[in-house]
């Protein structure tokens, strides 16, 4: 997490892993200990195995609960062809789409593609939505 003047302790939101896909995700380096969302002092940081996104909380422009999804279109890392949105998914049940004022990078190693939103399948999407909404 980066430091700034906002006080507070980072809060971690774990991903909700569907056991049917855990082995496949593990091959990609995505496990309970390598995946999570941290919200804390002024920064949103998402780690999904080798993929890491970090942006100021001030860049978050909105949140929306989404799902269910088709497993073959959601599980793992996906970029939407329709809107370039990025998805980090560990289940097909439910997630939270976080929208950004300035698109973020993180779907590919060179950072050439920017994403206007990021969907994460955390265990507590309502809690994450509440935490992020308080910062809007």
* Percent over 90 (pLDDT), the chain: 79
Cα(22)–Cα(32) distance, rounded to whole angstroms?
Answer: 9
| This prediction's pTM | 0.91
Which residues does 136 contact at the CB level (< 8 Å), separation at least 6?
60, 61, 62
Identify the residue whose tokens are 């935490």: 131
Q: Are 56 and 43 in contact (CB under 8 A)?
A: yes
- Longest CA pairwise span in the chain (Å): 42
Confidence of residue 7 (pLDDT cuts 50, 70, 90): low
């Amino acid at each position: 997490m980066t430091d700034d003047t906002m006080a507070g302790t980072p809060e971690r939101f774990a991903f909700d892993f569907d056991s049917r896909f855990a082995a496949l995700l593990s091959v990609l380096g995505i496990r309970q200990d390598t995946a999570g969302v941290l919200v804390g002092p002024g920064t949103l940081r998402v780690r999904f195995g080798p993929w890491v996104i970090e942006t100021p909380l001030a860049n978050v422009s909105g949140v929306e609960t989404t799902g269910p999804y088709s497993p073959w279109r959601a599980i793992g890392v996906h970029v939407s062809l329709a809107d370039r949105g990025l998805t980090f998914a560990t289940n097909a049940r439910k997630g939270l789409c976080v929208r950004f004022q300035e698109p973020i990078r993180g779907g590919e190693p060179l950072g050439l593609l920017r994403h206007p939103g990021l969907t994460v399948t955390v265990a507590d999407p309502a809690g994450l939505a509440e935490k992020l909404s308080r910062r809007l």
